[in-house]
Amino acid sequence: MPKVTVFAGTTNGLYAFESDARRTKWKRRGPYLKGTSVNHFAYEPKSKTLYAATLDQGVMTSKTLGRSWTSLNDGLPIRKVWSVAVNPKDSNQLWTGTHFSYLFRSNDRGRTWSLAEGYLQAPGKEQRWGDWAMGTIGNSLHGIHFDPADPKRMIVVSSTNHGVVRTADGGETWEYARNGVFESCPAAAQSSLEKPPDEQAQTVKEHLDSVHACTHRVGVVQSSPNVVYRQMHCGVYRSDDFGSTWRDISAGLPERHGFPLAVHPRDAQTAFVVPAYQGKCDKHNSCIIGALDVYRTRSGGRSWEKLSDGLPRDVHCVVLRHGMDIDRLQTPGVYFGTTTGDVFASPDSGDRWMRLATKLPRVQGITAVTV
């Protein structure tokens, strides 16, 4: 019987939660890497190798499912790392995204790294230099996504506005992946109505050049890689051509704004999001106040259903962009963690939820692996 391990990266180490395929009883272990802020994970199933992106220790690797770790930083001058990914067709090739939105590549399982120079010329590069204090992570490259059938096709996400670009040649050349998104932010349209007609077009442009155009999470459907979902500051979108064009699927959600997203590995019509209240919070820039709800679509975004069975009604937290994942079992389990240190699991694709942990340090990344 397969086993599931859910890794939770926090601001003070990582925790692992283990269960059999029924996913009704869980064993917790950790913390490991205590004192290290862990942002994100990648898992290579053939060698059972885990990779971690950390806030100040660069990239680290474990062949013991998190119990012991080795640094992989030769040639990686920026140790503030936000994402790591393994080429699905070549386990020797790793990619990582760092602070200041730089992209690095390794062809020897992370033993040495080199700058992905083609990305330096990707569109929007003039917005990526430097740093800022906006949001939780500032200027970072936080998403690296492959077409599993053709890994030369990639989508990369930086925290800059319109920071989603795609490549079809393994990173040599890049183009924007924003058609259908740039024009469709309702907040931009609303703000323009407050201006005289001759100023409205400029107001929309100014608004879309602001934070509302920031992409928080992208998810590629593994069985149908042309289908890609996208959670933005300004809404949820779907693409059926690997990011060339997008359509707004936010209707039916209580808030367009949110951070995490998870997609079903085999059903291209099923995806999960956690809407976030967009407003002024005492603790967070954007937050969930009150009921903590997950929303699921089983229709490719034509409709959404609220999933709340077992979730608390009185929170003040955020689920961060890497704070949600889904396993690969026949009926997938869904998992997420919060900034207030709770970790939740659903063995039945979101119908019912259980709490795996509480009062952990801030949860920054959740990754579910089947071993």
User: Predicted confidence band at 200 (pLDDT cuts at 50, 70, 90)?
Assistant: very low
By DSSP bridging, strand 215-220 and strand 70-71 are unpaired
Cβ(145)–Cβ(83) below 8 Å: no
By DSSP bridging, strand 288-290 and strand 271-275 are unpaired
Query: How close are the terminal C-alpha atoms of the chain, in Å?
Result: 9
Looking at the 3D structure of the chain, how many domains does it have? 1
Q: Reply yes or no on whether the pLDDT at 322 is more than 70.
A: yes
Q: Which range, of 32-41, 57-66, 181-190, averages the lowest pLDDT? A: 181-190
Residue 277: the pLDDT is 83
* Residue 203 DSSP SS3: helix
CATH code: domain of residue 229: 2.130.10.10
Two tokens, residue 327: 């396993």
The pTM for the full model equals 0.92
Rounded Cα distance, 166 and 39, in Å: 23
Residues 6+ apart with CB under 8 A from 198: none
The DSSP letter of residue 132 is: -
Q: How many residues does the chain have?
A: 371
- For the packed helices 197-208 and 186-193, what is the interaxial angle rounded to 10 degrees? 150
Which of 48-62, 154-168, 267-281, 282-296 tops mean pLDDT? 48-62
Average pLDDT along the chain: 90
Sign of CA dihedral 74, 76, 79, 84: negative
Residues 6+ apart with CB under 8 A from 262: 219, 271, 272, 324, 325, 326, 334, 336
Boundaries of domain holding 46: 3-370
Rounded Cα distance, 155 and 74, in Å: 25
Q: Reply yes or no on whether the pLDDT at 193 is more than 50.
A: no
